[in-house]
């Protein structure tokens, strides 16, 4: 299992466009990928569940992946969450 804490950078937080990019990246991976904030953990492969996190700019989220491509999965999701270019 690989885990990484990331600060949310997009001005709009994690919703709409960032969620679509996260889900798209997660679904390309074999690993089970989750994101959590304040004790709430959701699948990174579900746009509805990701929006329930309510993560806004400046919040810290934890990305976890478990599986064959776990390191690649965490890095791909972290790149989206920590990018201003969303």
- The pLDDT assigned to 84 comes to 83
Low-confidence ranges of the chain (pLDDT < 70): 86
Residue 30 belongs to domain with CATH number: 3.30.1340.10
Count of structural domains, the chain: 1
Q: What does the pLDDT read at residue 15? A: 84
Residue 86 within any structural domain of the chain:
no
User: Residues near 82 by Cβ (< 8 Å), separated by ≥ 6?
Assistant: 6, 7, 8, 9
pLDDT of residue 86: 60
Nearest 5°: the CA angle 37, 23, 78 is: 55
pLDDT at 57: 95
pLDDT at 16: 87
Give pTM, 2 decimals: 0.94
- State the residue range of the domain holding 43: 2-81
The pLDDT value recorded for residue 71 is 98
Q: What is the pLDDT of residue 12?
A: 87
Please give the positions annotated as active site: 15
């Amino acid at each position: 299992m690989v885990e990484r804490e990331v600060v949310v950078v997009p001005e709009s937080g994690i919703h709409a466009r960032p969620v679509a990019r996260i889900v798209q990246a997660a679904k390309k991976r074999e690993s089970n990928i989750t994101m959590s904030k304040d004790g709430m953990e959701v699948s990174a492969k579900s746009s509805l569940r990701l929006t329930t996190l309510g993560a806004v700019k400046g919040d810290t989220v934890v990305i976890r992946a478990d599986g064959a491509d776990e390191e690649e999965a965490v890095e791909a999701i972290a790149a989206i969450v920590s990018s201003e270019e969303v």
